[in-house]
Structure formats: structure tokens, C-alpha cells
Amino acid sequence: MQKGKGRTSRIRRRKLCRSSEPRGVNESHKSEFIELRKWLKARKFQDSNLAPACFPGTGRGLMSQTSLQEGQMIISLPESCLLTTDTVIRSYLGAYITKWKPPPSPLLALCTFLVSEKHAGDRSLWKPYLEILPKAYTCPVCLEPEVVNLLPKSLKAKAEEQRARVQEFFASSRDFFSSLQPLFVEAVDSIFSYSALLWAWCTVNTRAVYLRPRQRECLSAEPDTCALAPYLDLLNHSPRVQVKAAFNEETHSYEIRTTSRWRKHEEVFICYGPHDNQRLFLEYGFVSVHNPHACVYVSREILVKYLPSRDKQMDKKISILKDHGYIENLTFGWDGPSWRLLTALKLLCLEAEKFTCWKKVLLGEVISDMNEKTSLDIAQKICYYFMEETNAMLQKVSHMKDEKEALINQLTLVESLWTEELKVLRASAKTLHSLQTAFT
């Protein structure tokens, strides 16, 4: 037998490979987690499957204490541990919420409770949970304006919308906060500040789990579907795993079952959904490396950038794409330009005498080799344009990191987003080159 080809050698290599993987550092001994465990135990929750740990790359998460099998329950959190609008209405805030008109939203109820309990400090019954929540967040709404300006245009626009939405949320809530003055010695303006509400909003937006919609007369008609799940919300996201997560009405617990296998001392992940990196950045404040759902969005302006300006039918073509939903969600991905992007380009590249074939294009039919080649050429030009823009933005971020040390963490996050997009564009460019060889 050839050296290094036997079963023993394979086992040795697997062990060596596993031992070289980044290992998490167990944090169960830390005081905040000891207190959290006591708090959870008092609410009828105990767990032997997972332990809090700090991992390279993902930070704080949950580590498997034992091997976990496919289909196994990894966590079952009793309803008594969940922070919901029921929790808020049963609290000292309930009377104020019930009599306020128009009724507060479920989101406002949760945010108000979080701010109030955080202000209570040692007096809060939720202190062990509040102590492990992030002190600050990295959603775009929390970033400095000069950092937001470095985001891709499509994400920047959404980030600005997010900021405006939170500012309006704060402004429209101030009268309700004023009604709570009898509960506090300090002025409510100093307690329910914009920064305090922003922290609470981010806590709910980034960490809440989904519950079946409920409706209460004392709350507005907005969907009441959010619950904060202490300990469970330490689970980090991975786009490569699948779990089954839901509230079990029979056991009155929020349960998560894994569809993957986990070795002892591995980080256990859940999946927040098949989100691209811009969506993850916007909603959760992080970027997933090698995200299979990563993509680069092509705007209408860039879509027509390399098309002939003399095309008299261009306005009609754009109108057709709009009417049939082909003007948005056009992307480059790991496998090249999306079918939607290529379809839009094929329609836009139709010659005058072929224009009546536009319905066939939308159905995926090949009109001519010339149309196929021209659309691929335009796609390649757009891809190269994005690669140049991405490299320029990476240089800009790098220079700002040297000049703005206080913003280093925010800038590093933006840098990782652009870096991942560049990887996608390079993969797309390679695919486009392969496709073009069929026409040479």
C-alpha cells in the first residue's frame, strides 16, 4: 500500500484538520453568564447542550457541549423566559399603555420596556438578560454619516430610509414617554433619549424571534410577532445551516431543532434566512464571509450605461421591463449574472427589426446569436465597471481607516462588505468570460 493512503492515515489527517480549526473559548465561568444561568433556572430553563463561548470571526456565540445529531432539539426556551408584549402589559407600564390613545405599537411597547428596565439597573428583574445585550450596534442607522456615505448606493439609500424611520419613531413617541413621568424621579427626556430608544430599537430588530401574530385592543393593529429570547439569541447566523424554529403551543416553549450535525465544542449556528450581505448589514449589522446568497445589485442607471444612446426604442423597452418586474433585483452572483439581469439586457439589446420578439425574450427563448453575444458583452462591461468602483471604494476606506482611528470598527465592517462584493464580481467575470467563448 502506498504511504499515506491507508485508513489510519486518513483518520490522522482528519484529526489534524479538526485540531487546526478555530476553537471557541468557553465563557460559562464569567459572572454575567453565571447570573444569566441562575435567572433562567428560576424560570424553569436548564440546558446541557450548549455553552456561551467566544469564537474567532463570529465573536460571542454558543458552543456545543456534546455531539448534536440531525433532528435533535438544541434548545427549548420556556414562555416564561420570553420577553413579549404580554410581559410589558403585565408590568408597571401596562396601565399607561392601556389608556394611551391612539394605542401604542407593539414595537413601542417592547422598546419602552427595554429602556425603562435598563434605566432601573440593579432593580430590574431582567438585569441578567440586559447585562449580556450589546452596549452598541452596527446597523447602518448607528453608523456615522461619513461611514454611511461609503456604502454601496443601493444600501446607502436603504440606510438613510432606516435612519429616517427610527427618527420618526422617536419623534412620534415623545408624548407617550412624557405620560410615563409619574413612574420616574428623573425627567423622562433624560431617560427616553434618542440614543436610548435607538439601542432598544436595534435590540428588537436584530435579536427578536418570530411568534404567531396576536392582537390586543390596547396595542395598535401593527403585527405583534416579536419576542426577545434570552440565551437563545446568542446563536449566530450561518447561511449554510438549516434549523426548524418555532413556538410550540403544546409545550409553551420556543424550540429549535437542528437539521445538521455538530461535533463537541463546535459553534452552533442558526440561519436568519437566505439573505445577501447587504440585507444582513442593513438588518443585523454584520457581513457573512463567503455567503452563498451574496450578490451585487445593478441599478437602472447602470443597466443602460453601456447601451447605445441612439436607440429610439429604449424608453419603450424600459417601460416593458418595468411592467413585467424586470427593472429591480438584477444582480451579479457567484454563478455570474442572474437570469433576470441577462433577460433584461437581452431585451434592451434587441435590434429594431427584432423588437416584436420581446415577449419571447421574457419567456427565455434565444432570439439570435448576435443578441446573446451583445447582452453578454454589456454584462461584462457592467461587471468590470463595478470591479473598478469596488477597488476604488476599498482604497477610500483604507485611507479613512488611517485617518479616522475612532471609526476603525465601523470602517472595517464596510471594508468587509466591499471585499465580499469584489469576490462575487470576480467570480461573475470569470463566468462571463466562459460564456463569451461560445461566440468566439
Of all helices (H) and strands (E), which one includes residue 254? strand 253-258
Mean pLDDT value of segment 274-296: 96
Query: Please, which residues have CB within 8 angstroms of residue 94's CB and are 6 or more apart in sequence?
Result: 88
CB neighbours of residue 122 within 10 Å: 5
What's the pLDDT band for 6 if we cut at 50, 70, 90? low
Instruction: Say whether pLDDT at 289 is over 50.
Output: yes
Half-sphere exposure of 386 (CA within 13 A, CB side): 31
Instruction: Say whether pLDDT at 13 is over 60.
Output: no
> Tens digits of per-residue pLDDT, 145-165?
999 999 999 999 999 999 999
Instruction: Say whether pLDDT at 293 is over 70.
Output: yes
- Of 309, 269, 312, 314, nearest to 288 (Cα)? 269
- Are 374 and 353 in contact by the 8 Å Cβ rule? The answer is no
Q: How far apart are CA 216 and CA 218, in angstroms?
A: 5
Residue predicted with more confidence, 4 or 34: 34
Residue predicted with more confidence, 1 or 289: 289
Of all helices (H) and strands (E), which one includes residue 420? helix 408-436
Q: How far apart are CA 440 and CA 426, in angstroms?
A: 21
Mean pLDDT value of segment 383-400: 97
Partner residues linked to 50 by β-bridges = 64
What's the pLDDT band for 4 if we cut at 50, 70, 90? low
Domains along the chain with CATH numbers: 83-228 (3.90.1410.10), 295-438 (no CATH)
Partner residues linked to 172 by β-bridges = none
Instruction: Say whether pLDDT at 195 is over 60.
Output: yes
Q: How far apart are CA 109 and CA 88, in angstroms?
A: 7
What's the pLDDT band for 1 if we cut at 50, 70, 90? very low
Provide the mean pLDDT of the chain: 93
The residue length of the chain stands at 440
Mean pLDDT value of segment 315-326: 94
Mean pLDDT value of segment 335-346: 96
> Which set of grid coordinates corresponds to residue 260?
445538521
Residue predicted with more confidence, 439 or 402: 402
How wide is the angle at C-alpha 156 spanned by C-alphas 151 and 159, nearest 5°? 120
Helix then strand then coil, in percent of the chain rounded to 5, is: 55, 15, 35
> Tens digits of per-residue pLDDT, 85-131?
999 999 999 999 999 999 999 999 999 999 999 999 999 999 999 99
Quote the pLDDT of residue 22. Answer: 58
What's the pLDDT band for 14 if we cut at 50, 70, 90? very low
H-type helices in 180-276, by residue range?
A: 188-191, 194-207
How wide is the angle at C-alpha 372 spanned by C-alphas 366 and 374, nearest 5°? 150
Instruction: Say whether pLDDT at 70 is over 50.
Output: yes
Distances (CA, A) of 93 to 4, 85, 178, 198: 69, 11, 13, 19
- Of 107, 161, 137, nearest to 281 (Cα)? 137
Quote the pLDDT of residue 46. Answer: 87
Instruction: Say whether pLDDT at 341 is over 60.
Output: yes
Measured between its terminal Cα atoms, the distance across the chain in Å is 48
Q: How far apart are CA 359 and CA 362, in angstroms?
A: 5
What's the pLDDT band for 10 if we cut at 50, 70, 90? very low
**Given phi > 0 = left and psi -120 to 50 = alpha, else beta, which region is 418?**
alpha
Lowest mean pLDDT among 114-123, 192-201, 207-216, 394-403: 207-216
- The strand pair at 73-78 and 224-227 is best described as unpaired
Mean pLDDT value of segment 386-394: 98
> Backbone phi, then psi, for 334, in 5-degree steps?
-65, -30
- Of 152, 103, 437, nearest to 276 (Cα)? 152
